[in-house]
């Protein structure tokens, strides 16, 4: 099992506030940030595969403009 020792993404359901110009930018920023957190831990082939799976299977439920 992969242990990232991350304090940012610890819960399966979270609320994250992001400043972006449009919803697509917000989604891509969040996905990129999660993948960078994984790759910061270790740049291995397993983590690269995990990042591809994150990109494919991540689900963003709602984007709300404040």
User: Is residue 47 in some structural domain?
Assistant: yes
Q: Is residue 6 part of a domain?
A: no
In tens, the pLDDT along 26-58 reads 888 888 988 888 888 888 898 899 889 988 888
Output the pTM of the full model: 0.71
Number of domains in the chain: 1
In a domain? residue 12: no
Q: Considering Cα of 15, then 21, then 27, then 30, what sign does the dihedral take?
A: negative
Assigned domain for 16 exists? no
DSSP 20: -
Task: Report yes or no on 44 lying in a domain.
Answer: yes
Query: Is residue 4 scored above 80 in pLDDT?
Result: no
Greatest extent of the chain over all pairs of C-alpha atoms, in Å: 39
The three-state secondary structure class of 52 is helix
Q: Which domain holds residue 29?
A: 23-57
Res. 1: pLDDT tops 50: no
29 belongs to a structural domain: yes
Is 28 a domain residue?
yes
Residue 17 falls within a domain, yes or no? no
Task: Give the residue from 41, 16, 47, 49 showing the smallest Cα distance to 30.
Answer: 16
């Amino acid at each position: 099992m992969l242990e990232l020792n991350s304090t940012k993404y610890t819960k399966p359901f979270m609320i994250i506030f992001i400043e972006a110009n449009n919803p697509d930018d917000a989604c891509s920023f969040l996905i990129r940030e999660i993948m960078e957190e994984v790759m910061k831990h270790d740049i291995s082939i397993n983590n690269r595969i995990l990042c591809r799976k994150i990109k494919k299977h991540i689900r963003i439920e709602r984007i709300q403009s404040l």
